[in-house]
Amino acid sequence: MADTERKLANGKTRIDFQTDPSRYRHWKLAVDGDVATLTMDVDEKGGLYEGYELKLNSYDLGVDIELADAVERLRFEHPQVKVVLLRSAKPKVFCAGANIRMLAGATHAHKVNFCKFTNETRNGIEDASEASGLKTICVINGTAAGGGYELALAADHIMLIDDGSSAVSLPELPLLAVLPGTGGLTRITDKRKVRRDHADFFCTTEEGVKGKRAVEWRLVDEVVPGSKFDDAVKQRAKDIAGKSQRGNGASGISLAPLKRARSGDTVEYSTLSVALDRVGRLATITVRGPEAAPPEAADEMAALGAGFWPLRLARELDDAILDIRLNEFDVAALVFKSAGDIEQVLAYDAFLEVNKGHWLASEITHYWKRVLKRVDLTSRSLVALVEPGSCFAGTLAELVFATDRSYMLIGQREGDNKPPAMMALSELNFGAYPMSNGLTRLASRFLANPALVEVARAEAGRPLDAETAEAMGLVTFARDDIDWEDEVRVFLEERASFSPDGLTGLEANLRFGGPETMESKIFARLTAWQNWIFQRPNAVGEEGALKRYGTGQRPVFDTKRV
């Protein structure tokens, strides 16, 4: 059993996204001054499930969970690191990509969510480069096929050994009748700007491209003879590290294990709780505001480390979202609630804004950006209920703006002494947390009238009641106590009655208005096509390519184009 396995109440396997370097089975992380080496050495017997072996550095979700953890630890625990060398411990192979046997045997839901998580992890590597100056060099000594090359594509610089056999390839279409599932098609055209005809040849050729042609076609950045390879890697790392200003003199913090308590259908974290209503197919996430004021200075924040409320909440919310995504497929809707003091939440936002030049405050803000994107990309209906005693302010208000529908209660409930529901905005709502389309959630909300963003900005820091929030367009509906229960109940029952497939398509199309970016293409276009292809008999049928791969039998295709 892998460390990431736990048993659910119904006997199925629960996937746990928490790990640390002492428990890694597939990666080795070594830090030497301003250069870190992240070595892929996949344990063949360490698969998340039975029925396949992870040969040739092929990977499943368990391998990627460790990679995601390593990237976060480099950002928070090792701010002095400027360059990461991504390489393999296996001779003659960098990475053979996603394990074919795993994909062939996995449920459709697991395949799609596996691809989504690997995409988010690769995006996280790129975000570390763009936002934190943590650059990655991918060192390919052998074959980088499929997802292995897609991992390389996330790096800033790709080095390929010139030994006559080492190559890069995206062979998914000719071999498996599916698409590269982790952004490969988009990154070779949009990031590396490979010519369309070259890309067409590359993506339909099983053996891939090597040597001089790989550089000429922009598939890698340089090829180096074997006798000079190690020296060239060291020199490249030195050159790139010399240009980075990341973390000069900074000391990292330890990302301590999260504390979770599961009891029946509830999960308790230190900053939030999750309540599952399996009959109603709902998961209610209640976020709790801070219990104390923010520290006076950045040094005190660093001393608090992973216990600092904004970081603690971001990590716990991230874990809760991933847990629901991969372990609670029957959940139709996520309901976001909050409880706490609005002024305290705003005070923490103000602290992060004032100290945005401090490496840790910057990393926390970027972590929140990634967590909120994870919410955006979750294929569940999202609803926020802003009730008396709520603290949806600043950063937490982003959860309201991320939802498909939001309701805010006017005034107080009869017999309830909680203060009336209020919302508030902070400076962080206006640029710190862009969506995959490159816009803030408020800018995405007000595409038809961008001036409304500045109207909202003028009200930053001021508590807004339900009727004001509705008038400003910050919530969908403001309702009084008389109508509240019935309207919310009808909405949730309606949502649970709709086709989940139809809702997934509807929501994904509505959430990302405005411009298209490489990131939005990966999720809104490539992932959507892969979702469809993963259900087609040509790929997953009994005579399909995934099922027949490695059997010696050729797949049988339905030749009609649709």
Please tell me the predicted confidence (pLDDT) of residue 280.
95
Q: For residue 407, list its beta bridge partners.
A: 385, 477
pLDDT tens per residue across span 490-541: 999 999 999 999 999 899 889 989 999 999 999 887 778 888 899 999 999 9
DSSP-assigned letter for residue 343: H
Q: Which two tokens stand for residue 49?
A: 């499930």
Count other Cβ atoms within 10 Å, centred on residue 18. Answer: 16
- In the predicted model, what is the mean pLDDT of residues 176-199? 95
- In the predicted model, what is the mean pLDDT of residues 438-459? 97
Sheet strands side by side (includes 167-169): 93-95, 143-145, 167-169, 209-210
Q: Which two tokens stand for residue 151?
A: 């991992």
Find all residues with CB under 8 Å of 494, minimum gap 6, and list them. Answer: none
Higher-scoring residue by pLDDT: 217, 6? 217
Please tell me the predicted confidence (pLDDT) of residue 12.
61
pLDDT tens per residue across span 117-147: 999 999 999 999 999 999 999 999 999 999 9
Please tell me the predicted confidence (pLDDT) of residue 4.
45
pTM of the predicted model, to two decimals?
0.96
Class of domain 15-242: alpha beta
Contact criterion met (CB below 8 Å) for 402 and 440: no
pLDDT tens per residue across span 393-442: 999 999 999 999 999 999 999 888 999 999 999 999 999 999 999 999 99
For the structural domain made of 261-510, what CATH number should be given? 3.90.226.10
In this predicted structure, the answer to whether residue 163 has a pLDDT above a threshold of 60 is yes
- Which residue reads 């020199």 in tokens? 235
Pairing of strands 209-210, 167-169: antiparallel
Domain span(s) for CATH 3.90.226.10 in the chain: 15-242, 261-510
Please tell me the predicted confidence (pLDDT) of residue 5.
42
pLDDT tens per residue across span 476-485: 999 999 999 9
pLDDT tens per residue across span 26-85: 999 999 999 999 999 999 999 999 999 999 999 999 999 999 999 999 999 999 999 999
pLDDT cut 70: percent of the chain above it: 98
Please tell me the predicted confidence (pLDDT) of residue 10.
45
In this predicted structure, the answer to whether residue 3 has a pLDDT above a threshold of 70 is no
Pairing of strands 5-7, 13-15: antiparallel
In this predicted structure, the answer to whether residue 338 has a pLDDT above a threshold of 60 is yes
Element at 382 (helix H, strand E):
strand 381-386
Query: Sorting pLDDT into bands at 50, 70 and 90, what band is 449?
Result: very high
- In the predicted model, what is the mean pLDDT of residues 450-456? 97
Question: How far apart, in whole angstroms, are the C-alpha atoms of residue 340 and residue 449?
Answer: 32
Please tell me the predicted confidence (pLDDT) of residue 13.
79
Pairing of strands 272-277, 282-288: antiparallel
Please tell me the predicted confidence (pLDDT) of residue 467.
98
Element at 271 (helix H, strand E):
none
DSSP assignment string, 71-118: HHHHHHH-TT--EEEEEESSTTEEE--B-HHHHHHS-HHHHHHHHHHH
Please tell me the predicted confidence (pLDDT) of residue 2.
39
In this predicted structure, the answer to whether residue 11 has a pLDDT above a threshold of 70 is no
Please tell me the predicted confidence (pLDDT) of residue 1.
34
Element at 277 (helix H, strand E):
strand 272-277
Average pLDDT score over the chain: 95
In this predicted structure, the answer to whether residue 364 has a pLDDT above a threshold of 60 is yes
Find all residues with CB under 8 Å of 462, minimum gap 6, and list them. Answer: 424
pLDDT tens per residue across span 322-332: 999 999 999 99
Cα-flanking dihedrals φ and ψ of residue 115, to 5°? -65, -40
Find all residues with CB under 8 Å of 323, minimum gap 6, and list them. Answer: 14, 15, 17, 267, 274
Please tell me the predicted confidence (pLDDT) of residue 120.
97
pLDDT tens per residue across span 224-245: 999 999 999 999 999 999 998 8
